[in-house]
Amino acid sequence: MKLTTTLMATSALIASSLAAGAEDMTLVSWGGAYQASQQKAYAEPYMAMHPDVNIIWDESSAEAVAKLRAMAEAGNTTWDVVDVVAADALRLCDEGLAMPIDPDTQLAPAPDGTPASEDFGDLLVSECFIPQIVYSTTFGYRTDMVGDKAPESVCAIFDTETWPGKRSLEKRPIGNMEWALICDGVADEDVYDVLATEEGQARAFAKLDTIKDNVIWWTAGADTPQLLADGEVVMGSTYNGRLFKLIVEDKQPVAMLWDAQMFDLDGWIIPANLSDERKARALDFVYFATDTQRLADQAKYISYGPARKSSAPLVGKHAELGIDMAPHMPTDPANAKHTFLFNYDFWADYRDDLDAKFQAWVSK
């Protein structure tokens, strides 16, 4: 008995080290529940199909842009496929650090034959970006701290009279500036035009000034869920998947405020200048991992919407909790009555400028 286990362990060790020696592929992601959903939906089935490929995970997506640049300068890129938000993909593409992709030849078509470029549609925001999920930055509020008036509009964050208490907002201009303008009476479609002017920026800061002393500024996605759970804030912004976990899995007295949720994208990029062999392997993985079924599968584990139109009808129930996932998706019609589309080109241009202004404003 003991001998057999030892033998089995040894052979498993040898097998795995052989596999590791054969073909390692490093995937970079965000860690936590999100990476776990990718592991289950993409990596495990892929490894089952390709026993010769050994997938290694690296939880470095938050610093992916800086690290990829450093790797490229050192001439030794060790990553094969990297999960980044769309804005980072845009920058990596601009810097020549990510490989351009032709969706129609390098990505899977939908089951009915629709080419990938149509299936992804507008979500192909950069030629290097392979969209994976749609997520949103949106608000959650403590149901036991808002009295009998549940907030229905995003402008509740600026209404400290009706809903006193602290709010948590992300410590960066993106998102906050848009919400400030919307609540100052700017129409959604004019927000970026207004924000491009000095007066518009001053207007957004003036609106944010009204709640400056009532805000706890967060930097990590886990901050707001924790602050809500502790009752430190009455409402706060974070990624919708984090709030899903807080509400559905942790059963905290928190509810979603979907109004004016800020849609954003997350997806894969393949670093530039990989060897042909590694590039082929990375492309093969991405082809598999972003096909219609795989994207729909990921939604079983986390409440982020699949980036393909053809995946939407396939979204089913949560793998462990058995609840219907569709009503928790940011793209569900009931949640998406009033949404806001993140403007990548605007932020690529104004990010440095507005960030300097925002930091100066927030520090004073």
Q: Residue 65: count other Cβ atoms within 10 Å of its Cβ.
A: 21
Q: Are 235 and 257 in contact (CB under 8 A)?
A: yes
Instruction: Tell me if 362 contacts another protein by CB under 8 A.
Output: yes
Parallel, antiparallel or unpaired: strands 23-28 and 215-218: unpaired
- Name the β-bridge partners of 55: 25
Q: How far apart are CA 47 and CA 26, in angstroms?
A: 13
Closer to another protein by Cβ: residue 74 or 334: 74
Q: Which helix (H) or strand (E) holds 134?
A: strand 130-142
Closer to another protein by Cβ: residue 220 or 321: 220
Closest contact distance (angstroms) between CB of 164 and another protein is 9
Q: Are 88 and 35 in contact (CB under 8 A)?
A: no
Closer to another protein by Cβ: residue 12 or 360: 360
Instruction: Give the contact letters, 192-221, x = binds to another protein (CB under 8 A), - = no.
Output: ----------x--x----------xx-x--
**CA nearest to 351, candidates 90, 137, 126, 168:** 90
Which parts of 56-95 interact with another protein (CB under 8 A)?
63, 65-66, 69, 91, 93-95
Instruction: Tell me if 279 contacts another protein by CB under 8 A.
Output: no
Q: Are 225 and 243 in contact (CB under 8 A)?
A: yes
Closest contact distance (angstroms) between CB of 318 and another protein is 29
CA distances from 149 to 88, 231, 244 (A): 39, 18, 22
Closer to another protein by Cβ: residue 41 or 82: 82
From candidates 232, 248, 253, 309, binder to another protein by CB under 8 A:
232
Instruction: Give the contact letters, 323-352, x = binds to another protein (CB under 8 A), - = no.
Output: ----------------------x--xxxxx
Q: How far apart are CA 270 and CA 278, in angstroms?
A: 10
* Interface contacts to another protein, rule CB under 8 A: 63, 65-66, 69, 91, 93-96, 166, 202, 205, 216-217, 219, 230-232, 345, 348-353, 355-357, 359-364
